[in-house]
Structure 1
Amino acid sequence: MGLAGILIALLFLIWLAYRGWSILLLAPLAAMLAALLSGQPVIAHWTLTFMHSGAGFIAQYFPLFLLGALFGKLMDDSGSLKTIADFMTAKLGPKRAVLAVVLAGAIVTYGGVSLFVAFFVLAPMAHALFKAGNIPTSLMPPAIVLGTSTFTMTAMPGTPAIQNAIPIPYFGTTPFAAPGLGIIATVIILAFGLLWLARMERVARRRGLGYAGGPSHDSAVDSALVRERASAAREFDPAELHRGSASVRQPGIAVAVLPLVVVVVGNLGMNLLVLPHWQASYLAQAEWGATRMAAVGGVWAVLIALAAAIVCLVALNYRSMRTLRESVDAGANAAVLPALSVASLVGFGAVVAALPAFAIVREWVLTIEGGPLVSLAVATNVLAALTGSASGGLTIALQALAPTYMSLSSSLGIDPALLHRVAVIGAGTLDSLPHNGAVVSLLAVCGATHRESYFDILMVGIVGPIVALVTVVALGTRFGAF
């Protein structure tokens, strides 16, 4: 009954989450249901296993949620994101509308801007370009997904996305883990996605299909259903998007891009130049958690890079931002619900992992043919798919299985950096199933439907990344991390 209880609890969580119920309530209920059906102490699992695990996730990653959401909100309200969108529009134009949207999304998300902030800037840009180029509205969501939710989230070395930070404490790695493999995966995902979208654009033109418009993207922000699904999927609460007000004037392109550069260069500089020489022997003491720099340094690097970028952004735009305090408040508030929602999923995963029946699941995962890299890819894929959250699924998988994989990596000579990259790319594939909050939100923002756009989202957001994941696993198995 224990394994059946886990499956029933998981189905209960997925079904009600898809119907818009809050993860904050569903996750503990599902965890208690799993414990009850397994004959385990229900209240103890809720107040101890669930809460301790969720609190641990908040302790490790809330600063990243906070600074990431704040940076995204300030980039939006300063007008910097609109400047970048306008610049890409002017340089590439309607004839290369799809490429312009993809590249604009990649630039801002690799620079540290939260996904949902990017959505609400890219959608108006895409509407304008697609209308001028007479390109079907149905291709807008997959173009935005390709630029914001694939290679810049999981594959590009050093990406500040929360998904790329989650494996750091488990594997003692950095955001730049396996950079060569990450670049190869990036090229595959981007090339596959652009070729697919170009093909679908040609097909649409042969059929005489063109731009058909869509409802105002602003209406999606007020949808309670969109908000609940979105908050568990990514790191920004859409309800905070319209708090504060836009800058009285847009900055120039150099000023708009500089904070993004600060994030990338600061992250790289911290990992290559600062952290290797940082004297932090005190971390081994019990009062600091008896940890080590390898377990926290990668997260620290991203935090310092984001903090420096925020200071740079405010300094450059202080005079033109009329409601700086409101924007700061909104950015800070936008981090809370997503962080708690993902922490609740992590708490659910901790309870499941603590149940006796989970040993069967662990043994099944570890006996998958192909070796540890294949089994790790499958585990992160499956959990991200079931939870509809790359970050939630990834954390659940690593919390339950990371010690085992680290032991295997030591005995088999596998570089933990390779485990890091495989796990992150694996979490960013099947998380984009139809029930994913980011998918639901993006379709609402673009004025499209699952029927119109989801197949193309599947191709660029799932098939392309899976091809890249298989390639990375194959190369990693043959040549190791590089």
Structure 2
Amino acid sequence: MAVLGIILSLGLLMFMAYRGFSVIFFAPVFAILAAIFSGMAIMPTYTEIFLPNLANYLKVYFPFFLLGAVFGKVMEESGAAKAIAKAIVQKLGKKQAMLSVVLSAAILTYGGVSLFVVAFAVYPFAASIFKEADIPKRLVPATIALGAFTFTMDALPGTPQIQNSIPMKFFNTDLYAAPVFGTLGAIIVLVAGIAYLEWRKRVAHAAGEGYGTNHKNEPELVEDGNLPNPWLSALPLVSVLAVTLILQKLIFPHWNITSWVSQAPYSIPKAGVVGTMNNWALMIALIVGIMLAFIINPRRIKGNVAKAINLGAIGSLLAVMNTASEVGFGNVIKSLPGFQTIAHALTGINAGGSPLLSEAVTVNTLAGVTGSASGGLSIALDTFGKHYLDWAAKTNVSPELLHRVSSMASGGMDTLPHNGAVITLLGIAGLTHKQSYKDIFVMTLIKTGTVFVLILLQGVFHFV
């Protein structure tokens, strides 16, 4: 009954999210339903398990959501995001429409712009160039997803997205962990994803299908002569990566702060000081990026400072609450007796060898359960992080590999129908799951498969 309750509650959460209902409301409802099937009390489950885990997630990761959303909004209001996307599209032309959209989304995501903001920023240009090239509009979401939700989200070393920052706390690593593993993964995902999308385009054209008519949410593209220079627009993005690298690699390692932050009133555990400093580095880098984004185009941003900050802050609340609610849901599931059976099976994978395969399956599974890459990753590492770190030490596996594998695995099956980013992306494009979800899911399969291929290759060639 306990396992049945878990499956039923997950299925219902996916169904309600598919129908457009908020997971903030329904995540605790179905978490309690699963608890009832296990014979647990309703109110203690909500107040003593769901809410504390929701709050703990907010405590640790809210700054990244807040600063990332504000940064993305400032990039949008200053015209920097539009200038970068427009320059890439114009440079490559309509024959490379799909690659243009992927690269536009990838550059913004790798620079630290929120995935949700990237979708808003890139969609108008994606729809425009797809229409000009007569490519079916139903392929727009998958194309944006490839650029924003896959290799730049968690594979490329240095990406400031939250899926790459979460493992730092557990493995005392930094954003640039396992650069060879991550870069190879990014190349495989990009090449395979583009190949699939181009194949889908050719099949559609062979069948006589073009962009289509009577679409919803068609963008009204207005020429804007007040956009900043594209190269100047990239400065805030580069600064986020550069400042993070400098602080994490060159400055913080030489600071002896353990003695004072490990004591009252801070009382940070000594084992967590490195991860905490790495988090500080990303926060500082995002603040620098926000300041530069304000400066690069003062004429356009004038009068919009409050708007950018306020809308970014408000937008971050919805994103972080969606994810935190899913984390609360996942932690209730984690506390149920039926989950122990699942956990034992997951951690028992390849028990005699490297922990990487078990870690990838576990993170991928929990990301799918929660419908959130960061949510599933947090639950997996909260529950099994120390176990995998001890396992890695016994088998001589680098903590950097644990970081990169867990990060990349989180961006796999998280994109099931109840994933908030998928629902948002389809809403922006004015398309339905029926029209476009299949191709988004293929991007997920490519991303998921790449992680396991790399684990196999790493076992043979031992690269990090």
Same fold (TM over 0.5): yes
Residues 9, 128 of structure 1: alpha-carbon distance in 2 compared, 3 angstrom cutoff: closer
Q: Which residue of 2 aligns with 1:437?
A: 420
Structure 1, residues 116-147: CA drift from partner, whole Å, max 9, x if none? Answer: 22112211111221222222222222211111
- Give the distance between the partners of 2:12 and 2:429, measured in 1 at CA: 30
- Choose from 349, 365, 368 the match for 1:368: 349
Q: Distance in 2 between matches of 1:145 and 1:411?
A: 38
User: Deviation digits for residues 270-329 of structure 1, max 9, x if unmatched?
Assistant: 221122112211222253233232221222221111110001111223342222112211
Whole-angstrom CA distance in 2 between matches of 1:207 and 1:31 = 45
**Equivalent-residue separation in structure 2 for 1:100 and 1:252 (angstroms):** 18
Q: Is the 8 A contact 1:23 1:345 kept in 2?
A: yes
Q: Per-residue CA shift, 1:403-444, capped at 9, x if unaligned?
A: 221221222222221111111111111122334332233233
Identify if the C-alpha distance between structure 1 residues 463 and 14 changes in structure 2 by more than 3 Å, giving closer, same or farther.
closer
**Counterpart pick for 1:279 among 237, 243, 256:** 256
- Give the Cα separation in 2 of the matches to 1:5 and 1:53: 20
Q: Which residue of 2 aligns with 1:474?
A: 456
Q: 1:15 to 1:204 in 2, by over 3 A?
A: closer
Superposition deviation, residue 37 in structure 1: 3.0
Find the counterpart in structure 2 of residue 137 from structure 1.
137
2:57 is aligned to: 57
In the aligned structure 2, how far is the partner of 1:475 from the partner of 1:465?
16
Change over 3 Å in CA distance of 1:33–1:141 after alignment to 2: closer
1:123 aligned partner = 123
Match in the other structure for 2:306:
325
| Counterpart for residue 355 of structure 1 | 336
Q: More displaced, 404-413 or 177-186?
A: 404-413
**Count of residues in Structure 1 that have an aligned counterpart in Structure 2:** 455
Q: Secondary structure at the match of 2:297?
A: helix
Unpaired runs of 5+ in structure 1?
220-245
Which range moved further: 154-163 or 316-325? 316-325
Compare 199-208 and 102-111 and name the one that shifted more.
199-208
Q: Percent identity?
A: 40
Give the secondary structure class of the aligned counterpart of 1:166.
helix
Alignment partners' CA distance in 1, 2:21 and 2:432: 21
Match in the other structure for 1:105: 105
Does the CA-based 8 Å contact 1:78-1:317 persist in structure 2?
yes
1:178-217 mapped onto 2 (5 Å cutoff):
178-213=178-213, 215-217=215-217
Q: Does 281-290 or 374-383 show the bigger shift?
A: 281-290
Contact 1:188 1:467 in 2 (8 A): no
Matched residue, 2:285: 305
For 2:331 and 2:349, how far apart are their aligned partners in 1? 22
Query: Please, which of 413, 426, 446 is the counterpart of residue 464 of structure 1?
Result: 446
The CA deviation at 1:357 is 3.7
Which residue of 2 is the match for residue 257 of structure 1? 234
| CA distance in 2 between partners of 1:458 and 1:337 (Å) | 24
In structure 2, relative to structure 1, the CA distance for the partners of 1:438 and 1:341 (3 Å cut) is closer
- Deviation, 1:93, is 1.1
Query: Residues 289, 21 of structure 1: CA spacing in aligned structure 2 closer, same or farther, 3 A cutoff?
Result: farther
Question: Is the contact between residue 54 and residue 325 of structure 2 (CA under 8 Å) also seen in structure 1?
Answer: yes
C-alpha distance in 1 between matches for 2:396 and 2:337:
30
Amino acid at match of 2:365: V
Question: Helix, strand or coil: the match of 1:177?
Answer: coil
Contact persistence 1:120–1:217 (CA under 8 A): no
Structure 2 letter corresponding to 1:465: K
**Any conservation in 1 of the 2:156–2:179 contact (CA below 8 Å)?**
yes
The 1:435/1:404 distance shift into structure 2, 3 A limit, reads: same
Counterpart secondary structure, 1:336: helix
SS at match of 1:44: helix
* Cα root mean square deviation, aligned: 2.3
C-alpha distance in 1 between matches for 2:224 and 2:137: 29
TM-score under structure 1 length normalisation: 0.88
Could you tell which deviates more after superposition, 37-46 or 67-76? 37-46
Select between 29-38 and 317-326 the one with higher mean Cα deviation.
29-38
Q: Give the Cα–Cα distance (whole angstroms) in 2 for the partners of residues 133 and 153 of structure 1.
A: 28
Q: Which residue of 2 aligns with 1:409?
A: 392
SS at match of 1:28: helix
Indicate the residue corresponding to 2:243 in structure 1.
Answer: 266
| SS across alignment from 1:20 | coil
Write the deviation string for residues 157-195 of structure 1: whole angstroms up to 9, x where unpaired: 011111111122122211111111000000000010111
Give 1:212 shift.
1.9
Shift of 1:20: 3.0
Displacement of 1:391 in angstroms is: 1.4
The residue number in structure 2 matching 1:453 is: 436
For 2:119 and 2:379, the matched residues in 1 are separated by: 27
CA-to-aligned-CA distance 1:183-208 (integer Å, 9 cap, x gap):
00000000101112222223333333
Can you give the 5+ residue segments of structure 2 that lack an aligned partner in the other structure? none
Check whether the contact 1:418–1:480 (CA below 8 A) recurs between aligned residues: no
1:139-178 map, 5 Å? 139-178=139-178
Q: Write out per-residue CA displacement over residues 84-115 of structure 1, whole angstroms, 9 at most, x where no aligned residue.
A: 12211221111211111111111111111111
Whether contact under 8 Å (2:159, 2:175) holds in the other structure is yes
1:171 and 1:339 mapped to 2: Cα distance?
A: 23
Say whether the 8 Å CA contact 2:217–2:429 is kept in structure 1.
yes
* Change over 3 Å in CA distance of 1:190–1:42 after alignment to 2: same
Q: Is the 8 A contact 1:73 1:327 kept in 2?
A: yes
SS in 2 for 1:335: helix
CA distance in 1, matches of 2:240, 2:213: 35
Conservation of the 8 A alpha-carbon contact between 2:330 and 2:370: no
Q: What is the letter of the counterpart of residue 179 of structure 1?
A: P
Q: In 1, are the aligned partners of 2:354 and 2:395 still within 8 Å (CA)?
A: no
Q: CA deviation at 1:5?
A: 3.4
TM-score between the two structures when normalised by the length of structure 2:
0.91
Contact 2:77 2:300 in 1 (8 A): no
Return the offset for 1:363: 1.1
Residue 316 of structure 2 corresponds to 335
Give yes or no for contact 1:415–1:481 (8 Å, CA) kept in 2.
no
Per mean C-alpha deviation after superposition, the further-off stretch among 394-403 and 189-198 is 394-403
One-letter amino acid matched to 1:48: E
What is the letter of the counterpart of residue 320 of structure 1? R
Contact 2:216 2:431 in 1 (8 A): no
SS for the counterpart of 2:156 is coil
